[in-house]
Amino acid sequence: MRSEFAYASPSSLGEALEILKDFGERTCVIAGGTDLMIAIREGELRAELLVDISRIPELRLIREEGNQICIGPLVTHGELASSGLIKKGASVLGRAANSVGSPQIRNMGTIGGNIINASPAADTIPALVVLEAQVTLKKREGERSLPITDFYLGPYKTIIGAQELLTKITFAKLDDTWKSSFIKLARRKALAISRINIAVLAKMDEMRAKEVRVSIGSSTPTPCRMEKAEAVLRGAVPSAAVIEEASRIVAEEMVARSGVRPSTEYKRPAVQGLVKKALQEAFNIGL
């Protein structure tokens, strides 16, 4: 039996915030629907009112604001993957978006949905973490912006209030001294949910890595940076030995954060190997 609910489709942000103000906890927001429709079909949607934000044009833009790239929550994974601005200034995000689901899912699913649904396996999140993205949450009374790493409380849990809407995602545009990579491991290449995904950004100064950012998804309770490994890489001339050491540290950090589980025996070497591959790709060595 499917969930039953009333439906509202506001055509402006103001109207949407009014509805969320009035009905708060009783609402659920829908955009692309790729996650929510499954809950609806299973009869698991608890909300009385479905608020469809897909008809709010101002939430659908990718634009440059000075040195920042600003993405509306309705931008689809397909649009991210084919955006020239993203390719140039944040290619790691474009590649992450291009690894989501299938062509159909990428035409439907949105970056906002990927962020809000808070699946630990979300592919865009590690990319947004290394981009040091900020998310802006808005309600009728005002708005707040915070780093994406502060947005998550646990798997499928975020700090967003019932009256709030995610209205934009912003991060600094990267110049071409930044190298990047995104790799995911799943049961198969297409249409599979990530078991482990990794995003790497490295700012190069001649041969030296001036700054390195590493985030792994699906393997830690909340999205985070691998700071100990980043410290090992910072200032180093990337070599096979340094990469090996950093990969080992990431695997250790992953285990420290998620605890030892039955899958750890498999995941530790898998994470290590995958990080090695991601770092080699970012530094363009040993491939």
Residues in touch with other proteins (CB under 8 A)? 2-7, 9, 30, 33-34, 37-38, 40-41, 50, 52, 54, 78, 101-105, 107-108, 189-191
Least distance (Å) between residue 79 CB and other proteins: 10
Measure Cα distances from 17 to 11, 29, 154 in Å: 11, 11, 26
For 30, the enclosing helix (H) or strand (E) is strand 27-30
Q: Which residues does residue 199 pair with via DSSP β-bridges, in sequence order?
A: 182, 215
Min. distance of Cβ 153 from other proteins in angstroms?
26
Which residue's CB is nearer to other proteins, number 40 or number 90? 40
Minimum gap (Å) between residue 92 Cβ and other proteins: 20
52 or 143: whose CB is closer to other proteins?
Answer: 52
Q: Which is nearer to other proteins, 4 or 141 (CB)?
A: 4
Looking at beta carbons only, is 98 or 264 nearer to other proteins?
A: 98
Least distance to other proteins from the beta carbon of 46, Å?
14
CA distance 124 to 95: 9
- Please name which of 186, 204, 142 lies closest in space to residue 167, comparing C-alpha atoms: 142
| 247 to 99, 176, 178, 186, 265: CA distances (angstroms) | 22, 24, 20, 19, 16
* Cα Dmax for the chain: 61
